[in-house]
């Protein structure tokens, strides 16, 4: 485990997400983030079902991976445009 308490597998998933999409505070387009959230929710729901039916190591790892992905995308910042006028 690393100093944050993640297992080696969990850290690898986090590192891949950060490498491909940046840190959570690095903003992306809202539509892309929402699309990733929707996909992560589907993966999570199917992983929960699979783990309930069979508590194998593979299903456990998929469940952990899906939880990390869902957490990452729900924390990901989105680009926002503020419209303000000086009065």
- What does the pLDDT read at residue 82? 62
| Domain count across the chain | 1
Position 81 in a domain: no
Position 80 in a domain: no
Position 13 in a domain: yes
* Closest C-alpha among 14, 78, 69, 76 to residue 39: 69
Position 28 in a domain: yes
Planar angle of CA 53, 54, 57, nearest 5 degrees: 150
Position 51 in a domain: yes
- Encode pLDDT of 11-31 as tens digits: 999 999 999 999 999 999 999
Position 24 in a domain: yes
- Encode pLDDT of 52-84 as tens digits: 999 999 999 999 999 999 999 999 999 987 666
pLDDT (average), residues 41-58? 98
- Domain limits for position 32: 8-75
- What does the pLDDT read at residue 2? 62
pLDDT (average), residues 1-14? 82
Position 2 in a domain: no
């Amino acid at each position: 485990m690393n100093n944050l308490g993640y297992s080696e597998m969990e850290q690898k998933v986090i590192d891949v997400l950060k490498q491909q999409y940046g840190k959570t505070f690095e903003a992306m387009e809202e539509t892309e983030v929402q699309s990733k959230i929707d996909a992560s929710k589907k993966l999570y729901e199917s992983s929960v079902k699979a783990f309930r039916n069979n508590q194998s190591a593979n299903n456990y790892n998929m469940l952990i991976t899906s939880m990390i992905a869902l957490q990452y995308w729900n924390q990901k910042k989105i680009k926002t445009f503020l419209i303000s006028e000086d009065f």
